[in-house]
Amino acid sequence: MTISVGQKMPSGAFGVMTESGPGAISTDDLFAGKKVVLVSVPGAFTPTCSMNHLPGFVDQAAQLQSKGVDTIACMAVNDVFVMDAWGKDRGVGDKVMMLADGNGEYARALGLELDGTGFGMGMRGQRFAIVVDDGVATHVGVEAPGQFEVSKAEAILEAL
């Protein structure tokens, strides 16, 4: 079942890069008592994700924060090393938290997995953005295949 507005976000954990190497953050630590924009992309370093989706949230970080967002987090079904390298390559700094959903478990828990085997990408997460307020989804923007409208930073700013 796909996550919808008003539902509690599923429990889980993501890989994150720390100063001392790979680490993890639980969904409780990520969402509890905070307003979070959780963005998902099908893959790090892929064209739309690298040129438009992630940079939009980096560029709009201050505007999102001015609307009460505590954390902008970008997840992909990639490992923590790839997510860290991609964040550095895109210059996210401390504007966007890079989350590795290495085995796609969280995308699956949300009901938002994507079968990319036809493109040689295996199972991935769909392109989406969810606004989470204290662990509850308050806005869910899931893209139709091949689209980039409802999950971009500007659409999330309008939804806030």
Query: 30-58 pLDDT, tens per residue?
Result: 999 999 999 999 988 887 877 788 999 99
**Whole-prediction pTM value?**
0.94
Which segments within the chain are labelled E, that is strand?
13-18, 21-26, 35-40, 71-76, 97-100, 113-115, 123-125, 128-133, 136-142
Sheet strands (E) in 19-147: 21-26, 35-40, 71-76, 97-100, 113-115, 123-125, 128-133, 136-142
Active site residues: 49
pLDDT at 123: 85
pLDDT recorded at residue 119: 80
Average pLDDT over residues 115-140: 90
Domains of the chain by range and CATH?
A: 13-23+33-159 (3.40.30.10)
Q: How far is CA 72 from CA 97, 120, 135, in A?
A: 6, 29, 14
Which pLDDT does position 51 carry in this prediction?
78
pLDDT digits (tens, 9 = 90+) for 100-110: 999 999 999 99
Residue 49 has a pLDDT of 75
Share of the chain above pLDDT 90, in %: 84
Q: How many Å apart are CA 131 and CA 112, to the nearest integer?
A: 15
Cross-strand bridge partners of residue 130: 38, 140
- CB 49, CB 90: distance < 8 Å: no
Mean of pLDDT values over 125-142 = 96
Region of 19 (left: φ > 0; alpha: ψ -120 to 50; beta: rest) is alpha
pLDDT bracket for residue 151 (50, 70, 90): very high
